[in-house]
Structure 1
């Protein structure tokens, strides 16, 4: 019997790979892209020409950059859910209350996406507005505090679906890569009400996160507070303090949303 299910379109995937490569490199030439993706220059040229023509890329000399045509799509994706708009406003208050970095992250297709990111005034010195959780960044669920908090609020069947699709890849030597260990940690998160990321995503970075849920148990997203290890402790006292702050903010948000 022939497979009649949907299949990936190779040309579309190639165009998307080129866009990602250009974004990640902060601009790239045709030769750079052909070498990086192991494609013929003629193939790369055709894709680039089409993307420039449609406004999704711009060419500056021999270098291609991501175009502004993506902006309305990103804005639409971030604003299409009114709950997200309401939640994002609270990120700045959390950053100022703690003096650390704060973010609001949601799950889509089994991955975590940062929708809003802010730095507390007392922590701005020496930091940029493009930290690890800046808006638009994508992460695995199992190695960041917000991701783990959301996993802990999901049915086990959904968690297993996410693991089956994306695995449990290590990004540092502290990342949990064993399925049994992850489920044990998710149980601990449910018990205390918040998740801890102790250099599991990025070396030298810690965070504490808690999930936002609807009355029927739907996971809306998660907030987290984090920062460099020299400024962000995850001892029991500090974790409890930040965990309570997150829960208070989330309870106020849930009351406003539902």
Structure 2
């Protein structure tokens, strides 16, 4: 327990450059960092936390142990210690576990929204008010699309995304538009490393088809996710470039297929591009 408590402070003091990401959703970045640490107990503790962070339902000891390949008695010891710290909570009726409020409190102490996201956020709010749909800001971190900001729509709609959520880039408009404007060798590396896992029946799982799709995106300057990430959901995304004209993020509008379709997409793309122009002027970025 003392080791975990010590590491939480160490983690905050030494990893503040991850300024956009919630602690509970660091996933691969933190895994890569922790593999260099000699204390295997800390590594296993965070593996448990990251696994729990990817599930919205409560999890049992056996389920966690089987998924991570760690003995049940070890999982029990770690969960018992973390429960004392408030890092996890146990449901007394089912004896299953969920993440605790201590992680939320700890995460809020990290400067998540300073800098770029803070400056962009008001413009995303304005866009959401115009289109009355969900607006997202995302970047590519360790081969995955990471949601950096999200503005909920006034209309009632449930989408399984949140700030800190991550998804393979090939199945989301936010990711495809970033891939389209990346160096081709970097794209090849990502596809070699991650493959093209299937999320829905419409997910592009053929590499040649994806590369042709990326070429179309470069030409028209926007990407569409047509139920490729979640059934019943359509998403339109445009790129956001830095002052050297390198792709640095993407902005999207998401909504149900009944509202985002062939007739409405042109107006949504126009609204997205207008927002990007305003953002880049406000950030004093110069586009070629």
TM-score range, shorter chain: 0.7 to 0.9
Q: 1:180 to 1:143 in 2, by over 3 A?
A: same
TM-score of the superposed pair, with normalisation by structure 1: 0.84
Matches within 5 A, 1:79-98: 79-80=113-114, 82-98=115-131
1:76 CA drift (Å): 2.6
Q: Answer whether contact 1:145 1:209 (CA < 8 A) is retained.
A: yes
Query: Which residue matches 2:16?
Result: none
Matches within 5 A, 1:1-258: 11-12=41-42, 14-23=44-53, 24-34=55-65, 37=68, 39-61=70-92, 62-71=95-104, 72-73=106-107, 76=110, 78-80=112-114, 82-121=115-154, 123-124=155-156, 127-128=157-158, 131-233=159-261, 235=262, 237-258=263-284
Q: Answer whether contact 1:96 1:119 (CA < 8 A) is retained.
A: no
1:208 CA drift (Å): 0.3
State the alpha-carbon separation in 1 of the partners of residues 45 and 226 from structure 2.
36
1:21 CA drift (Å): 4.1
Pick which of 34-43 and 206-215 moved more.
34-43
SS at match of 1:44: helix
Q: Answer whether contact 2:224 2:235 (CA < 8 A) is retained.
A: yes
* Structure 1 residues 73-126: Cα deviation after superposition (integer angstroms, max 9, x where no partner): 36636325x1122223322222211111211112111111112222332x23xx
Unpaired segments ≥5 residues, structure 1: 1-5
SS at match of 1:76: coil
TM-score of the superposed pair, with normalisation by structure 2: 0.76
State the alpha-carbon separation in 1 of the partners of residues 168 and 214 from structure 2.
15
State the alpha-carbon separation in 2 of the partners of residues 178 and 118 from structure 1.
32
Aligned residues: 245
Q: 1:111 to 1:20 in 2, by over 3 A?
A: same
